[in-house]
Amino acid sequence: MKIGIVGSGAMGSLFGGRLSLSGCDVVLYDIFREHVEKVAAEGLEIEDAATGAVAVARPRASIDPRETAGADVLIIFVKSTATEEVAAQFVPLAGRNAIVLTLQNGLGNEAILSGHFGPDRTAAGVTSQGATFLGPGRIRHAGRGPTHLCMSDGKNEKLTLLRAAFEAAGFETHVSDDVAGLVWSKLVINVGINALTAITNQPNGGLLESEETRAIMADLVEEAVAVARARGVALTHGDPLAVVFDVARATGANRSSMLQDFDRRRASEIEVMNGAIVREAARAGIPVPVNATITRLVRALEKARAR
């Protein structure tokens, strides 16, 4: 199976590297030339946060999107702000039977991809795997958890081979019938963790060590769950806050994607996480003061850093 990873930061490199180690033909695509060249020349180092062991994967890596041509699956890991651009760029390169899977954070990515590739070729997924970018050619596998996949057209038999490839790579993988439930359930986790780690400058597990941050997490999650219910979305977990705490604990050493954005002085995905809750709440007429304040804080910090 040929798999193209579109966006090879921490998470893209983790999935691409592990899939490569398990025998898949993997192409890591990214615009970060130094990282790509390091992987192409010396391989990708994947450090296990639990044991400290380092595995070296040797996927192909390129800054040329044409290298992904002929892939059976394209897995999209770019920032949500780039999804529209990437979708338009890769449509001509994807084969007629290729599946395009989003494992990105936030709301809206599946709809964008489906608009370009069609629901029959689009899949949405969520994952509780965690990864930290350590530098060009180096990442840390910082946390483990299940991955859930679903075809946009509901014909999940198309995912049989991909699920088997994920399992062979060491990723616990399940196929679901509910895209919205999957995406919103992951959104609730992101809302409860990511922005707060960026604001407090600590890894996921650090949030659990303070009564204050645990209380803010609870408020953020409660508001997000209320909005999901107002939209008629059935979440996949009976106790969303317990799941958020479990994910923070399981990925304790991980620096969330938003914190890594802060580390690298890049624009965050606040608008598709807590910001999405604020927008959806406004449509439903539901007050979400904690998510609104957290969203404003992240925006303010980004502007301050830019100055």
Q: Please say if 79 is a catalytic residue.
A: no
Cβ-Cβ contacts under 8 Å for 161 (sequence gap 6 or more): 1, 72
Q: Are 125 and 147 in contact (CB under 8 A)?
A: yes
Alpha helices in the chain (DSSP H): 10-21, 33-42, 83-90, 109-117, 160-168, 179-200, 211-230, 240-250, 257-263, 274-284, 289-306
Q: Burial, 239: exposed, middle or buried (Cβ in 10 Å; 0-12, 13-18, 19+)?
A: exposed
The count of residues in the chain is: 307
Calpha distance 84→73 (Å, rounded): 18
Six-digit token pair at 265?
């002085």
User: Residue 95 and residue 36: Cα distance in Å, rounded?
Assistant: 24
In whole angstroms, give the CA distance from residue 171 to residue 129. Answer: 8
Pairing mode, if any, of strands 122-127 and 147-151? antiparallel
Helix count and strand count (H, E) for the chain: 11, 12
How far is Cα 52 from Cα 54, in angstroms, rounded to an integer? 6
Q: Say which of 2, 155, 158, 186 is annotated catalytic.
A: 186
Residue identified by tokens 């991809």 is: 113
**Which residues are part of the catalytic machinery?**
186
